[in-house]
Amino acid sequence: MPVNIFKTVQQSYDRMGATYHRFRDNEKFRGELERFSTLLPPSGRVLDAGCGVGTPTSEFLVRRGFDVTGVDISQKMIDLARVNVPDATFYQQNLLDLDFPDSSFDGVICVYTLWHIPRSNHQAILQKFHRVLKSDGILVINTGTSESEGMSEFFGEPMLWSTNDPKDTLAVIQNLGFDVLFEGILKLGGERQYWVFAKKTSETFAE
């Protein structure tokens, strides 16, 4: 694994993100976006963590009337997101450095992102999601279906793929004080991923 894996992922998406997005199936998880939106309060504030170019997640939520903030490690993706979804707010930021105040958001959604972050950091990121969510806030994540970690070429660029065992991910979410609304493996667009929908029910969490 490269010494600075975060820089590697950032630079890879800076170089190929727009090309990747043109080939992406933006409809494959529309049902999950629909479900997320029904769990949120009207006009609620939502964090799209790992927003990419802003579509489909931020765009979908803005069209449903939510106040959307998106963050991504790639400045190129943020630049594209600002063009694609001008009614949302976007920042270039590593998820490990989330600096929003406590209880800022009614919902946090982090999809197609965690597996590009070393799995040793996933618990810390989930803790940050818990912190920035309001009481009864909704969390949605997806990740891989088994424990694995390695590099491969992705649209011509080096890319990290890193996931914990779903049982471990679920245990972290439950231990943080979330009520799990749904967890399981879904097959979307020919791909299998582990998804969790959860509600923040406790203000206590371990740092």
Q: State residue 134's pLDDT score.
A: 97
As separate numbers, helices (DSSP H) first and strands (DSSP E) second, the chain gives 6, 9
Q: State residue 1's pLDDT score.
A: 59
Q: State residue 207's pLDDT score.
A: 43
Contacts of 164 (CB under 8 A, 6+ apart): 119, 122, 143, 147
Q: Find the Cα–Cα–Cα–Cα dihedral 128, 133, 136, 142, rounded to 10°.
A: -60
Report the chain (207 residues): mean pLDDT per 10 consecutive residues: 84 89 84 98 98 96 98 96 97 96 98 96 97 97 97 94 97 96 95 97 57
Instruction: Give the domains, in start order, of the chain with CATH numbers.
Output: 5-200 (3.40.50.150)
Provide the whole-model pTM.
0.95
